[in-house]
Amino acid sequence: MVDNFSVLSKMCELNDKSILAYDSGNFIYARTGKNGWGEVRIAVDNDTIMRLESENLNLYLLIYDIKKFIEVRNQMEEENV
């Protein structure tokens, strides 16, 4: 079985807009809630909203550690020099 992150990684390599990314600068608000669940509202472009309504798209919120991201990115850049 292929894990989901491997599939997402491959889709990112294709760079064909089959996967989109919006950073935390697009957050309208985020708040904690009851029973351990909170709420996040994020702005996305109208085309994405229309595609979510009309196509077979799935929306994920991906949260990652920026320090680890930079560390891994730097390592990958060093390997490609």
- List of long-range contacts for 55-61, beta carbons under 8 Å, 24+ apart: none
**Residue 16 forms part of a structural domain:** no
Whole-structure pTM over 0.95, yes or no? no
**Residue 1 forms part of a structural domain:** no
Q: How far apart are CA 40 and CA 61, in angstroms?
A: 10
**Residue 54 forms part of a structural domain:** yes
**Cα-only R_g, the chain:** 16
Q: What is the pLDDT along the chain (81 residues), one digit of tens a residue?
A: 878 788 888 888 888 888 888 888 899 999 999 999 999 999 999 988 888 888 778 888 888 888 988 888 888 888 876
Structural domain span for residue 43: 22-79
Distances (CA, A) of 1 to 4, 11, 19, 36: 9, 17, 21, 31
pLDDT at 36: 95
Count: domains in the chain = 1
**Residue 14 forms part of a structural domain:** no
Q: How far apart are CA 73 and CA 77, in angstroms?
A: 6
**Residue 7 forms part of a structural domain:** no
